[in-house]
């Protein structure tokens, strides 16, 4: 039923299929039952993550409307912002990221490395809010 509802919307195929489940052997042994992890970390864009599923729909809608820039918002180290910026770069679109510092830190590693550094590599326009 949900597939029929989602079929009403434009979708840009980014995942290439479902991500696998992997049995966590040691945790399963410890817990006395089978425990699995969904391997969304191996999706094919910007170091993986489950955010790509919603971006399939958001990006398709933006392209259908003729948009030339994706705008996103989140924390400085946001995985969603990172994946949006990577997708914009892949599609040849601009990207604007409105970033907040929710932990109010001035730590240079938090402010300039990790996902924040990748935004610069994806040529994302960053605005601190």
Q: Which residues are catalytic?
A: 78
> Helices in the chain by DSSP H: which ranges?
2-6, 25-31, 51-64, 79-91, 108-112, 115-121
- What is the sign, positive or negative, of the torsion defined by CA atoms of 36, 42, 45, 47? positive
With H, G, I as helix, E, B as strand and everything else as coil, classify residue 119: helix
């Amino acid at each position: 039923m949900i597939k029929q509802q989602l079929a009403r919307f434009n979708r840009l195929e980014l995942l290439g299929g479902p991500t696998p489940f992997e049995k966590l052997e040691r945790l399963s042994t410890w817990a006395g039952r089978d425990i699995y992890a969904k391997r969304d970390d191996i999706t094919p864009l910007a170091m993986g993550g489950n955010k790509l599923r919603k971006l399939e729909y958001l990006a398709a809608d933006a392209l259908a409307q003729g948009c030339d820039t994706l705008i996103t918002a989140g924390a400085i180290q946001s995985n969603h912002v990172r994946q949006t910026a990577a997708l914009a770069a892949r599609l040849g679109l601009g990207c604007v990221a409105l970033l907040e510092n929710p932990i109010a830190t001035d730590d240079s590693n938090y402010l300039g490395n990790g996902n924040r550094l990748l935004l610069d590599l994806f040529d994302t326009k960053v605005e601190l809010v």
